[in-house]
Each structure stands twice: as structure tokens, then as C-alpha cells.
Amino acid sequence: MKLYLKIWRQLNTSSKGEMVNYEIDGVSEHMSFLEMLDLLNESLIQKRERVIEFDHDCREGICGQCGVMIDGRANGPLKNTTTCQLHMRSFKDGDTIYIEPFRAKAFPVLRDLKIDRSAFDSIIEAGGFIGVSTGQAPEANTIPISYETAEASFDAAACIGCGACVATCKNASAALFVGAKITHLALLPQGKVEASKRVLTMVEEMDAQGFGNCSDTRACEIECPQGISILSIAKMNAEYSKAVIFRK
Amino acid sequence: MIDSKIPDGPLAEKWNNYKAKAKLVNPANRKKLNIIVVGTGLAGASCAASLAEQGYNIKSFCFQDSARRAHSVAAQGGVNAAKNYKNDGDSTFRMFYDTIKGGDFRSREANVYRLAECSAHLIDQAVAQGVPFAREYAGYLNNRSFGGVQVSRTFYARGQTGQQLLLGAYQGLLRQVSLGKVIMHTRHEMLELVVIDGKAKGIIARNLETGELERHVADAVVLASGGYGKVYYLSTLAMGCNSSAIWRAHKKGAYMAGVSWIQFHPTSLPQHGENQSKLTLMSESLRNDGRIWVPKTAKDDRNPNIIPEEERDYYLERKYPSFGNLAPRDISSRAAKERIDAGHGVGPMKNAIYLDFSDAIKAQGKDKIEAKYSNLFAMYEKITGINAYKEPMLISPSAHFTMGGLWVDYELMTSIPGLFALGEANFADHGANRLGANSLLQACVDGYFIAPYTIPNYLASELNAPKNDISHPAFDEAEKAVRAQLDRFLNSKGTLSTDYFHKKIGRLLYEKCGLSRSKEKLEEALKEIKLIKESFEKDLLLTGDDTLNSELEKAGRIADYIELAELMCYDALQREESCGAHFREEYQTADGEAVRNDADFCYVSAWEWKGKEHKPELHKEPLVFESVELAVRSYK
């Protein structure tokens, strides 16, 4: 198939970007969206032009490094997918496709479609862990965890840190990302000890990084590649209230 | 002469003996010592966090935009541990024996025993970090079985075990960042090792956002940069996985061992076209419930669902009745290739076999299968558009894991003092074939439990060594070499892109140094690599500048791959036997099984770089077996 692409090009964080038109022919429906961009880049190289920079790594939907806005939707027309898992069978011959980076104040553009998501690392640094050092662990089966609890914890732990939730949110809120980590750890007995401290420091850091507030539109839940539920935001809010009330 | 430094004593006591005698650094002195860790996968992150907890200063590097994205994240199936929670006959010795046998008796007894010995505690560590492993209804940890073994010792977190283990290690690492003990350098790539007075003392790294070259000095350098299966281009690996950190260390004097021992994973998705960039893995755990078959008649084009039972060849169950669909990876992959080559391949490109769940769905119900594998079935449908609850999956073998890597001794130190290699970057524990769910284990055990003893043992004697800084001439020289290579790439005005060369070298290796090899094919490959190398030097076309430029990053990695491919072929050519993943067509039985030659090849091949114009030099580390008898590896 033949496609008309309008792609965001921006030299660096401080420069002004623009949408640039490209045409690409010979795209097969079996190609992934990123393989289509590979093909376009190959043609740019042959024209002695700079390639379109985009983030990607595992190309199997788990590393969380890829992700672009496609026709105004995070990761394109499908629900709950990463950009690398989107295939060209979702498009048809002659389509025009708009491709832009994930946009948020906390995710500055580095070049073209590449963005800086280190704000997420800063939030984890602020408390998104259980403070156990190597060597301290007791025998694993001394901490029984019910099947349901382990599964619910996993549902939240599955977050891949891609930032689609932030990109799709009109407020650029990171509530789903932070809520997922809070929920993952707060549900487990090992994580309860630090739960109050964790939620306070992580939420504080989330605000400091310039993410917006959550206004409950549920847009994040629709795009999240791991289908993480907004119930984890509710869990974060509950943990936060509890922590504030009992703060010493 | 190579010294593997295996400690004295009976097998089960060696690691304890080592730990009892290892030198220590007192807490006040630890903050005077700096360690560089390259890579933030399970091995790198766990090592960096554990050493930081002890009080050393760590600088951690990864090329990804966050430490959490290292390729350990993609491991699906599980992690092995000899906990014997199932009471089904498992023990440390059993796990050791399965791993040694799985590796076709081409690994060190002492290393493998230590891996099995440390396995149980890893599960404790991961659970304490909050890794949500699968549980039984009573709340205890659940297990499943994996290829090449007859017990259930695999712990798992749905189909995302690697991701969950890595998040545990990553969170531990970032906790140390917040405490100021680790300085994190994301989007940085190591481009040179700095060696001073014969010891590893630093690296040159390129900041991938700005293009700046940086000098970093330390008292020890750890490479945990993963495997090099991406040399085949089409593989299950991430696009950025590369050999550059270990290859550049190799060119500075570190030996490479078992270089051609590459595992082809039996259950990846088949190739569908020329522009494909990756072959997605479907977890081996699927083989617990899926049955593998091809039509008995070659070139049978019918829909699989209408092919009657008696016209199907369940070839793994037929050839290996006691292990069946759970035969080890090398054997399963080779059997698949044999059937495909014989014309029984299925799918549009006739390059696949069927993995069929209809019997399991009939016996257990769709719900049970969904609970175990829903994410894998969903992924399969996303990629192929096919619903695997209704028709069999199409799968095929693909380059996956490198058993080979930097040669290390028992302390995980390379042949350069002060340079350590951990996880898939080293060659150590898997011999000529790795068992499923042992790679997450080895990466974690190296980083959490071994390096935290062996690195301090080395550092204890470095405490009073003269301190170097980045103005040392060795840094000038290393940076100059890196600069020169980058400038050469930036001025490449040929006609062929980096991907062209990567695909070319990958295809060549698949054909001539892949699932099966022969003297004739390997000699041809060596000649062709020479031509590719010449062409790369004069025909490469690169665009962009010396700041953020993914093409420039790729060029360096491909230059290294081309040299590495040559060493892989030398290694495969020199080893005139078949063992594990290394199958030489000249050395097989009448029914196509591998023929190992213990009389002449019971050693580790460690290769020394001798310069661009010279052949590498082979050093042999004899493998001595005291606790197991060398046996023909049979899964029949």
C-alpha cells in the first residue's frame, strides 16, 4: 500500500518543530508500524537525508521504550497496545497518517519523535521500591500471599513505564503510572511497611516533575498497553488520604 | 596458561570455601573505591545495587532511556530454583546435573553447582522485593516445568517473569541512586575500555543525546551488557542489543569463549517478509500444553484443523518419547529445522511448524489455558491476526541466546584483571546449550550473590594501588581511537545503509553458522565475511551529525558484529565435534543425533585477539569432571 505521512521533525529540545510530509510506497499489511518507519528511514538515507529519530527497543511490547501519537491517539487506533505491536493491517492504501511524539511538559522532545521520560525514573527513585537489601530476605514461603492478592498486585505491576497514559491525558497526568506502582507494592505484605511514606514521597515527586492532576476522564485506561485499571488511581488516593490522616 | 581459579574441596563445599577465604574491604574504605557497571539488566542492576548497598561508589551505564528497559525485561517463561516445593525429587545436585547435561558437558562443574546452590535464595530475594510470582490458592509459590528437566522448578510471573524480576532489581538500583551511592548514566554507550598497567581502570562512553565523549575512571569495571544474538539481525533480541562493550574489551585483551554457541529458540514466530526487523518469542512454557507437529505429507497445504490425526507427525513425541514436547531447546530447534528442510514446513513461507493447543483445551477447558497463557495468545493475535484458541500457532526456531561471551574465571573476572563479566555477557554456566529459565537465574545469581564477594576480593588488593585520573595517557589514547572511528563513519558517503550490512551478515550466519554448520560452509562464510568487511569500509552510507544519531550508533555496533562473526566462524570451524547448539554436519549419528568428541574437545575454547590482520589465537581450558560421568546426552 501507499501512504501519506505527516511526521513531526524537531532538531532538539530548544528548537521549534514542524510537521513534514512524506510519501511511502510498498508497505505490506504484515509490517509493524515501526518497520514502516524503518522503510521510510531507508529511503531517507538513500536521499542523503537525516533519518527520523524514534525510540524503540524490544519490539515485542514489553520494554516500554517505543510510543508515538498516531492520528492524535497514543499508539494509534487500537486499544491497549504499544506502537511496536501495531501492524499496518490497521491502515489502508492511500491513508494519511499523522505521527507526533508523546507530548507533556514533563516529557521534553529530544529530537523528532524521541522524548525524555526520565521524570518517571525520578518518581520511582522517590520511593517506588521495597527497601530490602541483598542478603536480608527470609525464606520465600514464609510470606504466604493469597492467589487473588498476588494476581491483583501483578495486574498493577505489569506497567511498562511507556508514558502512553500521560500522553493521552488532557492534563498530562501521571496518576496511572504512579497509582500502578503504589498499588503493586501496597497490596503485598512486604510492601505495606513503607506504604505511607512511599505514597507521600512519590506523589510529591510526581507534582514536582510537572505532571498535571487527574480529573478522572479514564482516557489513560483505554490506551494503557497493559490494560491497567484506573482503580489503581483510586487505590493511590486512598493510600494517600490514609497516609495524610495518620501522618505523625 | 589459563587459570580458572576453581577453589579446593568437594564440589558442594567449593563456594563456601571461597567465601570463607575471600578478602574483605572494611566499611570505611569502601567509599574510597569506585566501580563502573555497564548494563542495567538483571546482572548489571543487581550487581550495582548490591555493591552500592555495601558502600562502594557505583557508576551505572545503559544505552536505553531508562534502566528498566534492558532486555531482561523480555524474558517470559520463568526462573529456575531448586526449592523442591513440589516435593518431586528436586535437589541442588539434581539441578546441577540437569544443567551440566543440558549444556552437553561443556561447562565447569564448580560454576554450575554454585548456580544451583544460589538459586533458592534468589527466589527469597525477589519475593522480598515484591516480585508477584504466581501463587497457589493457599498462598504458597507455584511452579511449572520447563524443557530439559523432569521436575517442576520454574517460578513464574505470568508470561512476564523477566519484567517483574527486572523491576525488582531496577527499583533496588534506583533506591541506591536516591541514596547517592549510584550515579546513573542512561542513554550512554560504552565505546572503549581503558586499561592502565594491565588492569581495567575505566571506559570511554558516548552520551547518545549530545554525542559528547566522556571519560570515566574506576577501580574495577563490570560488563553486564548482555548477549550478541542480534548479530543474526533477525532474532528474538531487542533492536539495540549489541556486542560492542564486550567486543571492545576483547580487542583490549579479554578472551572470548564458546563464541559460536548460540541458542536458537524453538518457539519464536516465523519470518514473514523482507522488511521484518525482529522475530517475536513465544514462551517455551507453551510447550507444557501445546503439541508440536507437521503434516506427514510434505507440502500439505490444507488448513491444519482439517488434517486428520493420523496424517500428523508429532515428531518430538515420536523421536523423544520420554521428554516429548519438552525436549531441550537445541534438540527441538534442530528437529524443527530438519522437518522444515525436508519439505514439511507450514505457513505462507513454508518455514514454520504447528504448536497446537486443541488437545489441552479439550482436556482442561479454555479457561485454564487462558489463565496460563492469555497474554501470549493475545500477543500472537496482535502480531499475526490469528486466534490460537481456534487454530494452531505457527512457530519456528530463531536466534535467541548466546552461551558464548567473555571468558571468565570462577570469580567472573575476565583475562584482564579488574574487568568482570556478568550474565549473558560471559560464557560461564550454560556450556553448549542453556536450559529454559536458567538465564534469568544466572544473571541474578551473578549480580546478587557472586560479584558481591568476588569484586571486593579483587578490590581489597587495589585499595593501596596508585590512583589514576582521566588525564592519564591511556584515556587520551582510548578517546582518540573512538573519535577516529566516529569521524570515519560520519564521513561515509557510499551507497549502502547500516541495516543493509546488518541483514547481510545476519543472513550469512543463519545459513552457514546457524543451527547446523560444516567445514565447507564455514570456510565459505569466512571468505564472504572478508568481502563484507571490505565493502563496509568503502560502501557505507551514513547521514546525520555527531549529536543524537541512531545511524551512527548502529554503524559502530555493526563494525563489531562483522569482526565477531568472523570469530564465530573460526570457533565453529575449529571444534570438530557436535555438542549442544553446535551441530557440525560431519559429526552425527545415522539418525541425525549429535556426536560429541570428549577425547579431543573436552575443553573451553578461549580466543585471544591478535589484531585486524591476524588470526585469533586459541587457548584451551580443559574441563575436568569429578562429580559426574560424561554420558551421551539422550532425551529419548
Q: What confidence tens digit (pLDDT) does each residue in A123-143 have?
A: 999 999 999 999 999 999 999
Whether the Cβ atoms of residue B419 and residue B249 lie closer than 8 Å to each other: yes
Q: State the cell numbers at B295.
A: 503434516
Q: What confidence tens digit (pLDDT) does each residue in B357-394 have?
A: 999 999 999 999 998 888 889 889 988 889 999 999 99
Cβ neighbours around B597 below 10 Å, total: 14
Q: Are residues A40 and A121 in the same domain?
A: no
- Residue B191 CA to residue B38 CA, distance in Å, equals 11
The answer to whether residue B158 is catalytic is: no
Pick the catalytic residue from B206, B329, B339, B584. B329
Q: Are residues A88 and A139 in the same domain?
A: no
- Does any CB of chain B come closer than 8 Å to the CB of residue A132? yes
Q: Are residues A70 and A7 in the same domain?
A: yes
Nearest chain B residue to A26 by CA distance is B275
Q: How far is A149 from chain B (nearest CA, A)?
A: 9
A-contacting residues in B 488-527 (Cβ below 8 Å): 495, 497, 499
- Residue A199: pLDDT band (50, 70, 90) is very high
- Decide which of A114, A146, A177 is a domain's last residue: A114
- Residue B200: pLDDT band (50, 70, 90) is very high
Q: Are residues A105 and A130 in the same domain?
A: no
- Residue B242 CA to residue A170 CA, distance in Å, equals 38
- Decide which of A52, A87, A114 is a domain's last residue: A114
pLDDT at A248: 73
Partner residues linked to B395 by β-bridges: B353
Question: 3-state SS of chain A: helix, strand, coil percent to 5?
Answer: 40, 15, 45
pLDDT at B263: 95
Q: What confidence tens digit (pLDDT) does each residue in B439-452 have?
A: 999 999 999 999 99
Are the Cβ atoms of A63 and B238 closer than 8 angstroms? yes
User: A13: domain range?
Assistant: 3-114
Polymer length of chain B = 636
Candidate CATH numbers 1.10.287.110, 3.40.50.720, 1.20.58.100, 1.20.210.10; the one for domain B473-601? 1.20.58.100
- Residue B130 CA to residue B384 CA, distance in Å, equals 34
Q: Are residues A110 and A13 in the same domain?
A: yes
Q: What confidence tens digit (pLDDT) does each residue in B467-505 have?
A: 999 999 999 999 999 999 999 999 999 999 999 999 999
Whether the Cβ atoms of residue B68 and residue B84 lie closer than 8 Å to each other: no
Cβ neighbours around B593 below 10 Å, total: 18
**CATH number, domain containing residue A94:** 3.10.20.30
Q: What fold, for B265-400?
A: Flavocytochrome C3; Chain A, domain 1 (3.90.700)
- Residue B354 CA to residue B307 CA, distance in Å, equals 12
Partner residues linked to B495 by β-bridges: none
- Residue B9: pLDDT band (50, 70, 90) is very high
Contacts of B93 (CB under 8 A, 6+ apart): B12, B116
Residue with cell 537525516: A50
- Residue B77: pLDDT band (50, 70, 90) is confident
Whether the Cβ atoms of residue B209 and residue B546 lie closer than 8 Å to each other: no
- Does any CB of chain A come closer than 8 Å to the CB of residue B184? yes
For residue B346, what is the DSSP state?
B
A-B CB pairs within 8 A amount to: 219
For residue A65, give the nearest of B64, B128, B379 by CB distance.
B64
The average confidence (pLDDT) of chain B is 95
Single-letter residue type at A205: E
Q: Where are the domains of chain B?
A: 265-400, 473-601
Q: State the cell numbers at A192.
A: 505495606
Say if residue B273's pLDDT is above 90: no
Nearest chain B residue to A48 by CA distance is B543
Using an 8 Å CB-CB cutoff, list chain A residues near B541: 45-46, 48
Are the Cβ atoms of A117 and B130 closer than 8 angstroms? no
Closest to B451 (Cα-Cα) out of B67, B81, B80, B114:
B114
Q: How far is B86 from chain A (nearest CA, A)?
A: 12
Backbone phi, psi, residue B253, to 5°: 125, -5
Q: How far apart are the first and last CA of chain B?
A: 39
Q: Are residues A73 and A121 in the same domain?
A: no
Single-letter residue type at B131: V
Residue B169 buriedness (CB in 10 A; 0-12 / 13-18 / 19+): buried
Judge whether B265-400 and B473-601 match in fold.
Answer: no
Mutate to test the interface with A, among B210, B241, B268, B275 (most CBs of A within 10 A): B275
Single-letter residue type at A69: M
Q: What confidence tens digit (pLDDT) does each residue in B87-139 have?
A: 999 999 999 999 999 999 999 999 999 999 999 999 999 999 999 999 999 99
Q: Are residues A133 and A240 in the same domain?
A: yes
The average confidence (pLDDT) of chain A is 97
Say if residue A77's pLDDT is above 90: yes
Are the Cβ atoms of B65 and A55 closer than 8 angstroms? yes
Q: State the cell numbers at B23.
A: 578478602
Nearest chain B residue to A152 by CA distance is B132
- Decide which of A91, A114, A137 is a domain's last residue: A114
pLDDT at B147: 74
Using an 8 Å CB-CB cutoff, list chain A residues near B240: 57
- Residue B551: pLDDT band (50, 70, 90) is very high
Are the Cβ atoms of A57 and B239 closer than 8 angstroms? yes
Arithmetic mean of pLDDT, B218-228: 98
**CATH number, domain containing residue A129:** 1.10.1060.10
Vertex B218 angle, CA B217 and B220, to 5°:
140
pLDDT at B575: 98
pLDDT at B371: 84
Single-letter residue type at B42: L
Q: Are residues A138 and A108 in the same domain?
A: no
pLDDT at B478: 98
Q: Are residues A137 and A175 in the same domain?
A: yes
Q: What confidence tens digit (pLDDT) does each residue in A203-237 have?
A: 999 999 999 999 999 999 999 999 999 999 999 99
- Does any CB of chain B come closer than 8 Å to the CB of residue A244? no
Q: What confidence tens digit (pLDDT) does each residue in B560-601 have?
A: 999 999 999 999 999 999 999 999 999 999 888 899 999 999
For residue A140, give the nearest of B66, B124, B544 by CB distance.
B124
Using an 8 Å CB-CB cutoff, list chain B residues near A146: 135, 137, 139
Are the Cβ atoms of A61 and B382 closer than 8 angstroms? yes
Closest to B223 (Cα-Cα) out of B422, B479, B503:
B422
Q: Are residues A32 and A98 in the same domain?
A: yes
Whether the Cβ atoms of residue B29 and residue B463 lie closer than 8 Å to each other: yes
Q: Are residues A142 and A107 in the same domain?
A: no
A-contacting residues in B 379-408 (Cβ below 8 Å): 379, 382-383, 385
Q: Are residues A122 and A225 in the same domain?
A: yes
Using an 8 Å CB-CB cutoff, list chain B residues near A184: 130, 132
Tell me the ipTM for this assembly: 0.98
- Among A11-20, A57-66, B43-52, B625-634, which is the least confidently predicted range? B625-634
Q: What confidence tens digit (pLDDT) does each residue in B451-471 have?
A: 999 999 999 999 999 999 999
- Does any CB of chain B come closer than 8 Å to the CB of residue A134? yes
Residue with cell 539422550: B634
How many domains, in total, are found in chain A?
2
